[in-house]
Structure 1
Amino acid sequence: MSRRRLVRLSLITVAAVVVVALVAVMVTAVIVVRRPLPEVAGEQELPGLDADVTVTRDERGVPTITATTSQDLFRAQGYVAAQDRFFEMDYRRHVTSGRLSELVGENKDALAADKVIRTFGWRRVAEQEWGLLEQSTRDALQAYADGVNAYLDGRDPGAIAVEYSVLGVQLNVSTPAEWDPVDSLAWLKAMAWDLRGNYDAELERAASFSSIGDVARVDELFPAYPQDLNLPILTAADLPVSAVQQTSAATTPLDLDSADLQDAMASAAAALDAVPHLMGDGEGVGSNSWVVSGDLTESGSPLLANDPHLGISAPGIWEQIGLRCDDVSAQCPYDVSGFAFAGMPGVVIGHNAELAWGLTNLGADVTDFFLERVDENTTRLDGAQAPITERIEVIHVNGGDDIRLTVRESVHGPLVSDVLDLMGVGSAPVPEDAPARRFAVALGWTALQPGRTMDAVLAMNVAKDAADIQAAAALFDVPSQNIVFATTDGHIGYQAPGRIPVRADIPGGPVPSDGTWPRPGWDSRYEWQGFVDPAAMPRALDPVEGFIVTANQAVTPAGVGPFLTEDWDYGYRAQRIRELLTDATTDGKVSVADMGRIQMDQHSPYADVLVPVLLSLDIEDTFFDDGQDLPLDVEDSFYDDGQELLRTWDRVQSEDSAAAAYFAAVWADILAAAFADDLPDDYGPSGGSRWLEVVRRLIDEPASPWWDDKSTPGVVEGRDQVLTRAMVAARRELTAALGREATDWRWGQLHPAAPEHPVLGGTSLPGLIRNLVNPDPVAVGGGSSIVDATAWDASSGSFAVTAAPSMRMVVDLGDLDASTWVTLTGASGHPASVHYSDQLGPWSRGETFPWPFTQAATEADARDRLTFTP
């Protein structure tokens, strides 16, 4: 199931005009595309500095900034970010403030996104956060903004980014507004939205109920985490005593009935689907991260690995950077290197001289949908009336008329079902005595309350030990992330941060009270009871096992620790990493190279579940075709060619594997036949870890009703018939797509990674522009729920990559200069730069680059040097 909606411009006319100009005068074309490239050597004035600042860049264009004060450091970081990636920053701030229509003009997708984000009020919340932050954080944000604005000062749009030149052919492109510190804070809301937890699962449960009509059967499609098979991050023994407490378990729903909620839920789903996913969306969005004690490594010091799995785009999501104070002190405490977001000061993932940290999405349930009974300007709550507040938002459309939007909020959050008036499917079980049969849907979300995540980001940049990480985590409100860390003095650890709602246990309630289903907004028992105490959040230091693995799986054993969610990744990636680390430490000691090899592991857990059963079926006996059982000529091996590939397959989804291509096609066909017919449109089986767990539990139930394909009336299929038909169908599909010779098929031919520009990436554009802004696709291995997590959507009809490792890093705490890193595309956001996509090829092959950190190493690696003067 693919529910992402990327905003694309309809620029056929615009692009045609540009192409004519570029073809007619090629010199002009070169000037247009190269004009925004920044000067990276020499000397430039940067007003407001206290002293000179140096910026060195390595052969991939990655900058390291050295300054004497924190303010100079962040001012220079803002300037450099604007040099390299200002259009990306500008696009992000237009999205996060609900002003995309101002940038791209009349576009229905842009307008839909603006309406929803204005309804959320991301920018309004960010403005409220400003006053909560430490003064030092506000100073850093202001210095960063000053640096951005110093770069913009005096430059016309065409000198800032080629995208403005393209847009300016048809639209009114004015000089970009100055950068405001709140623009940086608003980006945190986009991060929180894309990494928010079980929002999709909650909607999907409600939508599935509308077509299945039975809560118990719906629950079979959302099985419990398999703790007997895939271990959680921590065991009870790893946790401090203060963190061990019984969870509030879900109750069995009683007397459920499907009410007329389809319209409200469908409108809410459509509205939320309109939000651009700046970091990715769906089951493929997650991460791997693990840390190994020095007792188990070749160097005798800890090693840490991280590779966040996010949406793919051009330029890539991350900005590689080093930030160094000349003299590290309390007044200027930064000496940090890693991955930043263009538009925000500091480093989000990386290491300093004493500590390295990695992040993976914890997936805590931080959103709830509240079903509201609306009577004009009030909602029903415990038999009384609760107020609805209203405000007017004005959306400016470049080249069009302004749009006035009325935003309504209940006591539980914004009424998202108001935003888009769409009909469709989707409902939730409610009791017979619900106070109305007409509903609105409010979104409760922790990120809509102001917080101090920006304080946490900068605090982690200077953290030295577990206590510092715990203190930073207490401020890291959203998005909730797993933090693994290691120190140069030999410690490894884990910390869970996040603002996590506490939900009451309601025995006999109309729906489970654990946040897995939409909640009755008219019943105050379902309101949040506060938030988990940061001191009770799971953490561990130096576990006996000697390593910690986080890959979006369950954090603690069932019933231990605070309740976080019921909707985890099902742990197949995490368990595979654990097995590989165990093997490596049994045979010897772990090295940096070993960590990199584990990151590229492409073993398929799907194959472990399905291949033995597929090989047990006699495809030469019968096959299913168009609803009829037809004999197969046993002398013709056409249909069993694919099955034969599986007999010698090592179950590795490598880029050059024929068997991997065939198996992926079989998997998609199995899901379609067994489940798609039971589910509403737009909620088909995506094939991620949840679907693997569903099928694993059904594989020993060959007569389960789930195997029956309802699209074949009069025929009741069982497991073997569905699996056999899937093998036959896959043979036909791949013959059409890749050729008759099965041994010539390649998984990478079906499975390309194709980063696209967020605005100019549409296929309707002429080739000249499309080729300029979109790097050539690369064939890759891996797949969903594989350690090399290049996810794809089995319900979409395509095997193309939807999310992937956005970067890979391995940090050696014994020799920081021996660490390695790579990012998805490159350091620059300018399509004409040699560094726009120079890392994409190496990334696709699993290659990484040296990551120098010390002053001597970065100086030795420098290719360009720029000095900023006051």
Structure 2
Amino acid sequence: MRGSNLIQRLAIVVAAVLVVVLVAGVALATVLTRRPLPEYSGDSTLRILSTDVEVLRDERGVPHIYADTDADLMRAQGYVHAQDRFFEMDYRRHVTAGRVSELVGENDAALAADQVIRTLGWRRVAEQEWDLLSDETRALYDAYAEGVNAYLDTREASQLGVEYTVLGLVTELREIEPWTPVDSLAWLKAMAWDLGGNYDQELGRATAVRALGGDVARVEELYPAYPGEQNLPILPPADAVATPTVEDASWEEVPAGAVEAVDAAYAALQATPRLLGEGDGIGSNSFAVSGAHTASGSPVLANDPHLAVSAPGIWHQVGLHCREVTTLCTFDVAGFDFAGMPGVIIGHNAELAWGLTNLGPDVMDFFLERVYDDGTYLRGGERVPLTRRTETIRVNGGSDLSLSVAATAHGPIVSGILPDTAAANNAPVPDGSPSPGFGGYAVALSWTALTPGRSADAIFALNRATNAEQIAAAAALFDVPAQNIVFATTSGDIGYQAPGRIPVRQHVEDGPVPSDGTWPRPGWDGRYDWAGYVPAEDMPRALNPEEGFIVAANQAVQPAGVGPFLTEDWDYGYRSQRLRELITGAIAEGTPIDAEWANAAMNDEASPYAALLVPALLEVPVEDPFVGEAVSLLADWEQADYQQGDDSAAAAYFAAVWANLLDLTFADDLPEALAPEGGSRWLTVVDQLLDDPTSPWWDDRRTVNLVESRDEILLQALTAARNELTQTLGKDPGDWQWSRLHVVAPRHAVLGADVPAPVRWFANPSAVGVGGGSSIVNATGWDASADVDGRRDYGVTSIPSMRMAVELGDLDQSVWVNFTGVSGHPASEFYDDQMAAWAAGETFPWPFTRAAVDEATTVTRTLRAPG
């Protein structure tokens, strides 16, 4: 995970101190760790409230808040978030403002992260967004901040999080600042960065072209087109609506050399912390089924966002209820929220449920800029001044750093942020480029999230939406991050809506690189500038499709050439296609679909990798009986529908075969930065290579005077995997289990990684082995290129961060589960109390009506208005 060095290095420092505290005495440790735990019962008076507010919590600590005005609801939500997770909120706001060094002190990784985020200017953009929001939204964000601060006002740092106690021993613990509305808005930038589209692929193509000697055709083999006939898009041809599209460009000319400035940009951006996660595993499943195919006769909607493994988990759970819905109090909504932001991100109200999955549009482009020593750059045939500003990064206990940030019309220059990337300026570029002279080249980033928008307005609009028209209106405000919206209503509708600010790219017929956003673009050529954004009314949508269901799981939205151009770099659709198969199968068999069925579908573990590769593997002659003993597992696996369950020996062996196959096929050709992580793109690449037994990719150039073919590499992968698992899991393949390799190990952001055992026991929930895998519906992703101390690492890197299934016919029959729990305090009983159920694929009842919430309530706290 990018930014992991920051977490690990900080953890090592604070862990040593915490160990001293823990061994000093159990009583002292208990006092320190339990001191921040909030009081969930009783009364407290808050002068900010206009009327009393009730906070009802169930046996898992999930709060349902009841108030008489929208403002009081948001005040109470801010208060509850501060109770449950203030350190997480504070850590996030330091990250999104580029101020981690202020919190943790002198630390190279923290300083690198601060430099990148200050250059991108997340906080600056959030400040600009504040003035664009509606008066009502600003009032609600103000109210939320008031609630946070009402909790902070009467408590010192040690009462807000044990993390502050530890940090106070190793750094100067400064006074905790009041929460501001912009602190909440800045979190949207972190969300947008992690969910922002194809920048890895765009820079990856440019990096690969150098490694492959300028062979663009081979590069494109690593980025194949979406397999639309095999894996259907969200809106199949019958539901797709044709609108103007940007034509794809082709790159027939080979660049004159590697663009080192691009490499520098890539290296610098690796320092950016990824708070939601990264890589192919970051996505989601969602589907809605009409009442014609459900047990209740009303729609069922399901959603499970795939995000990073963390402790606490990314989501908080909440209900925001007006005692009576009026013009003064308009919310009656429950679902999953983010600590630090008002409102509900995913959930349902009394009339409509919605789920979100990452749309993944290409909203970032990198522009190669010709810069000069006098502070100018080339634009439209003229030299124009760079825009400059200076940022001061304060380092707790150390010297401040002055950071000079330069920008072009295309955005901030990101190629020279870190000292070790500054030498990239003398870079070769595509043919026909201007001479570098004495200035050189730089890379600027254009990103839609750097233009202020109104996504904060959109969240409240989603919370109140009751029909397709109101969903469309909310989507028109939802600039970033662009998320597929799947929805269903109690009146019987199901629908899909694509939101987002999507760049319109001009078609350049005779340019040096494609103009479709797949490669870095020449900044001096105005034909490559963005030409505005796709109008909201042209974004894809559907209502009550003839099929009777909608599946949105990060696949292509519409068939190629239909609708506005969104991206070339989709998830390749294996999860979505499996969900389609499960739903159509249930419909064909007459199986009524309900919340229980939907949750079981989200836990499906059929492997598309095995379905595509095992038949080819079984055709390879295996003479060694030692290897054949393991291969026999694969022969029997087909009968189990290639389910990658936690106790499956075949799943463990196949995963090892897959990882070794990728290494044997690509490690000799690609740099380590492009090592295959094994996600859906790589499955498509290998699937296509299987049809070409003599492709140059099969040849291992590390073997002298030997040219390998497909079957030789497949045999080597089978053999290497057998040897590897013999060492790690034992000699008898029958004893192997996938869950012994594939482990979810949540880590606390500050106290959890590479630390002594007492700290790990305290701060990290117990690790658990699970089934599933990358591009499987139960999407417990892993990185096939990862290793720990020279041994391959199959550990889980991304997870279904929550699961929910909503019964629109009876909302109280809906179910949900969070990855860990609602609390961010390691000493709380609600820190990881949902994790065992989550790992087992189980859910909990999700009460919504007041009667159901009252019945589930175990404790109530009344926040009283003064007087």
The SS at the match of 1:191 is helix
C-alpha separation in 1, matches of 2:103 and 2:3: 21
C-alpha separation in 2, matches of 1:776 and 1:618: 43
Indicate which of 396, 400, 405 corresponds to 2:394: 396
The SS at the match of 2:420 is coil
1:800 equivalent in structure 2: 795
C-alpha contact (below 8 Å) 2:305/2:802 kept by paired residues: yes
C-alpha separation in 1, matches of 2:2 and 2:137: 36
Residue correspondence of structure 1 range 470-619 to structure 2 within 5 A: 470-588=472-590, 589-619=592-622
1:684 equivalent in structure 2: 675
C-alpha contact (below 8 Å) 1:484/1:495 kept by paired residues: yes
The SS at the match of 1:755 is coil
C-alpha separation in 2, matches of 1:163 and 1:466: 44
- 1:710-752 superposed Cα distances (whole Å, 9 cap, x missing partner): 1112111110000000010001110111111111011011000
2:759 equivalent in structure 1: 769
C-alpha separation in 2, matches of 1:794 and 1:312: 17
Please say if 1:813 is aligned against 2:808: yes
C-alpha separation in 2, matches of 1:683 and 1:4: 18
Shift in Å, 1:4 = 6.2
C-alpha contact (below 8 Å) 1:209/1:429 kept by paired residues: no
Distance 1:466 1:31, change over 3 A: same
2:326 equivalent in structure 1: 329
Which residue identity does 2:577 align to in structure 1? Q
Please say if 1:299 is aligned against 2:296: yes
Aligned residues: CA RMSD:
1.4
TM-score, length basis structure 1: 0.96
C-alpha contact (below 8 Å) 1:53/1:868 kept by paired residues: yes
C-alpha separation in 1, matches of 2:433 and 2:455: 42
Please say if 1:864 is aligned against 2:859: yes
Please say if 1:250 is aligned against 2:253: no
C-alpha contact (below 8 Å) 2:307/2:799 kept by paired residues: yes
C-alpha separation in 1, matches of 2:285 and 2:766: 26
Residue correspondence of structure 1 range 110-509 to structure 2 within 5 A: 110-212=110-212, 213-239=214-240, 243-259=241-257, 261-262=259-260, 264-376=261-373, 377-422=375-420, 430-436=430-436, 438-509=440-511
Which residue identity does 1:400 align to in structure 2? G
1:722 equivalent in structure 2: 713
C-alpha separation in 1, matches of 2:678 and 2:672: 16
C-alpha separation in 1, matches of 2:256 and 2:31: 62
Which residue identity does 2:226 align to in structure 1? Y
C-alpha contact (below 8 Å) 2:11/2:750 kept by paired residues: no
Shift in Å, 1:429 = 6.1
Which residue identity does 1:791 align to in structure 2? G
- 1:244-274 superposed Cα distances (whole Å, 9 cap, x missing partner): 2242222222433233521x12221111110
C-alpha separation in 2, matches of 1:692 and 1:124: 40
1:701 equivalent in structure 2: 692
C-alpha separation in 2, matches of 1:254 and 1:595: 47
C-alpha contact (below 8 Å) 2:782/2:794 kept by paired residues: yes
C-alpha contact (below 8 Å) 2:394/2:400 kept by paired residues: yes
C-alpha separation in 1, matches of 2:366 and 2:358: 21
C-alpha separation in 2, matches of 1:221 and 1:177: 48
C-alpha separation in 2, matches of 1:470 and 1:433: 43
C-alpha contact (below 8 Å) 1:387/1:411 kept by paired residues: no
The SS at the match of 1:339 is strand
C-alpha separation in 2, matches of 1:666 and 1:6: 30
Shift in Å, 1:345 = 0.3
Please say if 1:661 is aligned against 2:659: no
C-alpha separation in 2, matches of 1:318 and 1:854: 22
The SS at the match of 1:346 is coil
1:647 equivalent in structure 2: 635
2:818 equivalent in structure 1: 823
The SS at the match of 1:640 is helix
C-alpha contact (below 8 Å) 1:58/1:862 kept by paired residues: yes
Distance 1:332 1:254, change over 3 A: same
Distance 1:779 1:74, change over 3 A: same
Which residue identity does 1:759 align to in structure 2? V
Please say if 1:780 is aligned against 2:770: yes
Shift in Å, 1:381 = 1.6
C-alpha separation in 2, matches of 1:771 and 1:258: 55
Identity %: 58
Moved more, 425-434 or 801-810: 425-434
The SS at the match of 2:392 is strand
What is the count of residue pairs matched by the alignment? 849
- 1:488-526 superposed Cα distances (whole Å, 9 cap, x missing partner): 000000000000000011112111100000000010000
C-alpha separation in 2, matches of 1:246 and 1:535: 12
C-alpha separation in 2, matches of 1:220 and 1:429: 22
Distance 1:805 1:429, change over 3 A: farther
Moved more, 680-689 or 336-345: 680-689
Shift in Å, 1:382 = 2.5
- 1:752-804 superposed Cα distances (whole Å, 9 cap, x missing partner): 011111122221x2221221111111101000000000000111131111111
C-alpha separation in 2, matches of 1:211 and 1:677: 10
Distance 1:13 1:525, change over 3 A: closer
2:746 equivalent in structure 1: 755
C-alpha separation in 1, matches of 2:749 and 2:217: 41
- 1:416-460 superposed Cα distances (whole Å, 9 cap, x missing partner): 012013259998961244443731000000000000000000100
TM-score, length basis structure 2: 0.96
C-alpha separation in 2, matches of 1:822 and 1:71: 28
C-alpha separation in 1, matches of 2:158 and 2:192: 32
The SS at the match of 2:752 is coil
C-alpha separation in 2, matches of 1:153 and 1:425: 49
Gaps of 5+ in 2: 788-792
C-alpha separation in 1, matches of 2:738 and 2:434: 52
C-alpha contact (below 8 Å) 2:484/2:552 kept by paired residues: yes
Shift in Å, 1:11 = 4.9
1:629 equivalent in structure 2: none
Shift in Å, 1:3 = 5.6
Runs of 4+, deviation exceeding 4 Å: 11-14, 423-429
Distance 1:398 1:619, change over 3 A: same
2:665 equivalent in structure 1: 674
Please say if 1:72 is aligned against 2:72: yes
C-alpha contact (below 8 Å) 1:190/1:278 kept by paired residues: yes
Gaps of 5+ in 1: 621-631
